[in-house]
Each structure stands twice: as C-alpha cells, then as structure tokens.
Amino acid sequence: MPIIKDTWGKTVDGRNVQRFILKNDNQIEIHVISFGGIITHMFLPDKFRHTADVNLGFDTIEGYLTQKPYFGALVGRYANRIKNGRFTLDGKEYSVTLNRERFSLHGGNEGFDKKIWDAEVKDNKVVLTYVSADGEEGYPGELTTTVTYELTEDNKLILEYTATTTKPTVLNLTNHAYFNLAGHDAGTLKDHMIQINVDQYLPGDSDTIPLGTIADVTGTALDLTEETDLGERIPQVPGGFGFDLNYCAGDPGKLKYVARVAHPPSGRTMKMYTTEPGVQFYTGCNLRGVIGKDGTEYKRFASICLEAQHYPNSPNQDNFPSTVLLPGEVYKQTTIYEFGIDAN
C-alpha cells in the first residue's frame, strides 16, 4: 500500500518533523518519523482481528525531544556502551562523550536518536539519511548513514542500514523499539513467551559492560534456547534487574534467525532475524514512571527490546568482532521483525 507522508510537529528550533505511515493488507500499520528515525506506533492485529499498538512511545513529538529511554529510535554512532568513553584506533586514543558516569551510552548526549534525518519515500520504502560531521560526539570521520524501513505483504518489517566514512572510525547501529505484544499499555510482560536461539552471552560488570569473556547459558536463568515464560523467568535472573545483556548470535554479515516472542492470549507473535553478531535483550528494568501514549505510566518490566548490534565495548576488546569502519568500505546491516498470529 502507498506510504502516507505528513508533518508531525516541529523541533524546538522550528524544523518540521516528517511522519511516514506504512500499511499492508493484513491490518499492520507502522509509523516512522524523521526525528531519530523513531518508530512511534506499531499496530498489529490479534487472533480476533482486533488491532493494538504494541510499541511503547509518546503521543507527540515533544515527548521524544527529551526522552531518555530511546523509545523506537535509531541509535548511533555507537549503540550500547564504550567503557570510560575511550578507545584506541590506529595508535591514537579517542575520547567520546561520557554521558554516563563510567561509560558512553548510545552515541553520547546527542546521538542519532536526536537528529533530524533527511527522509524520502523510494520504491515503497522510507529512506532516511544522516551525515554525521567529523568529530561529532568525539568520533572520527564524516559518517554518512542510510537506513530504510520496509513493510512487506508477508508481514515483515525490514530495516537495512549502510554507512561510509572519510576516516577510520568505529560504528555500531541499532533500533531501540520497545515491544509489548499485549499492547503498549499492558503494563507487564505476563503471558509473554520468548525463545532466543543463542547459547552464549557476554558476562558483564555492574554497568553491564562486557568483561571480555564469552559464557554458555546452559544451566542458568539466562538460558532461553527453549520457549520460556518470560513473566516467570524475569524474577529468577540474578540481581533482580531482569535481562539487560548481549547474546552472541555469531556469523557477522549472515542473516540468521535469532529470537521469537509470543503472546498466547492475543495470538501475536514476532520473529527476529539479523546479520549482526549480537542482540541486546532488555526487559525495561530502568523504566520507572515514564508517562507515555494515552497517559500510560510505563513501569519496570513493561516491555522488551531486541536490539541487533555488535557487542558492547568492542573497540576495547580485540577478541570481539570488529566494529572498525575504514574509508572505502561500506557498513551493511539487515534486521527483520516478522509478525504473525497463532490462532491456537
């Protein structure tokens, strides 16, 4: 179906924010805005043909201008954490914005989630482009990033990323959508089932920065290789904070099935595929009193994130898949969310 384009408010400096509405013939509707490449709404049908918005977020642009949870946003230049905001590249040490006490998170104070992206519709895709200046947030090289959103008639949301640089740099891109298949206002992950088709993860420190080792999930509460009741499993995770860790999917550049989420009462399902070597699985432990759409108070464990990405702090870990991008190279990523209905 044709993509609808309109204006969805303005930034504080008066720039228009464009909205794009993608629909297919199966009652799926997804809204994307040019500010941060944010997915603001995601309407999915259930087994009774009733639709609900399963994507946490805000009603208006004002909420996203100051948002902290990165609802639905494109995250960069470097998704997740860089310890102490420092890394060495070609013998030179770089310091990037330290927006947390002991690490740089999601690109710094004004990462890609806070930028207006150039946006157009092309071949029934929303095409977003942003040029990040050399030195922005401390990162070297002028980086040109393009991300496309496509909704297919077989119920797949396809995100494709490319990027090029003028200088050697590090890069890690993802989308930070928060899902609750019962509806964004359900308030809990009760009755959600999950399977993550990965048997290794990255142990981390108190800031969830990887220690540099790779561990097996077997015999731990982190083992989600079989379908698991998420509501029952979250309290079993050590520390009481639920899940906020990177699972090691391996095979960088190869598209592979990584995860499946299901909500049996509604019948909604979602599968995830990605070319990235990792997926950060997060159950919203830091959501506390955020007021979102329809006046809903989003609380801890009200949603999940499945963020396709490279491993956190990779620039400081030689044994992790490299996040270095060189001039003349093209960064590429494909991540797919496939939606379905289980009528049983």
Predicted confidence (pLDDT) per residue in 4-60, tens digit: 999 999 999 999 999 999 999 999 999 999 999 999 999 999 999 999 999 999 999
pLDDT value, residue 332: 98
Output the DSSP codes for 176-188.
---B-TT-TT--S
Are β-strands 143-151 and 125-132 bridged in parallel, bridged antiparallel, or unpaired?
antiparallel
What is the strand order of the sheet 4-10 is part of? 4-10, 16-23, 29-33, 39-45, 51-53
pLDDT value, residue 174: 98
How high is the mean pLDDT of the chain? 97
DSSP 314: G
Domain 4-341 has CATH 1.10.1060.10: no
pLDDT value, residue 26: 97
Residue 67 in this model has a pLDDT that exceeds 90: no
Measure the CA–CA gap between 99 and 114, rounded to whole angstroms: 14
Predicted confidence (pLDDT) per residue in 91-145, tens digit: 999 999 999 999 999 999 999 999 999 999 999 999 999 999 999 999 999 999 9
pLDDT value, residue 126: 98
pLDDT value, residue 316: 98
Measure the CA–CA gap between 249 and 237, rounded to whole angstroms: 20
Measure the CA–CA gap between 9 and 61, rounded to whole angstroms: 6
- Distance separating the N- and C-terminal Cα atoms of the chain: 29
80 is in an annotated binding site: yes
User: In DSSP terms, which residues pair with 323 in a beta bridge?
Assistant: none
Phi, psi at 313, each rounded to 5° = 60, 25
Predicted confidence (pLDDT) per residue in 145-154, tens digit: 999 999 999 9
Predicted confidence (pLDDT) per residue in 223-268, tens digit: 999 999 999 999 999 999 999 999 999 999 999 999 999 999 999 9
81 is in an annotated binding site: yes
Predicted confidence (pLDDT) per residue in 289-337, tens digit: 899 999 999 999 999 999 999 999 999 999 999 999 999 999 999 999 9
197 is in an annotated binding site: no
Residue 205 in this model has a pLDDT that exceeds 90: yes
- pTM for the model stands at 0.97
What are the tokens at 287? 């959501």
Measure the CA–CA gap between 82 and 133, rounded to whole angstroms: 20
Amino acid at 287: L
Burial class (CB in 10 A: 0-12, 13-18, 19+), 41: buried
Would you place residue 279 in the very low, low, confident or very high pLDDT band (cuts 50, 70, 90)?
Answer: very high
Residues carrying an active site annotation: 176, 307
Write down the domain spans for the chain. Answer: 4-341
User: In DSSP terms, which residues pair with 335 in a beta bridge?
Assistant: 159, 274
177 is in an annotated binding site: yes
- CB-hemisphere CA count at 13 Å for 154? 3
Measure the CA–CA gap between 209 and 242, rounded to whole angstroms: 16
pLDDT value, residue 68: 80
Predicted confidence (pLDDT) per residue in 68-86, tens digit: 899 999 999 999 999 999 9
Contacts of 191 (CB under 8 A, 6+ apart): 182, 229, 231, 263, 264, 265
Measure the CA–CA gap between 306 and 322, rounded to whole angstroms: 21
pLDDT value, residue 289: 86
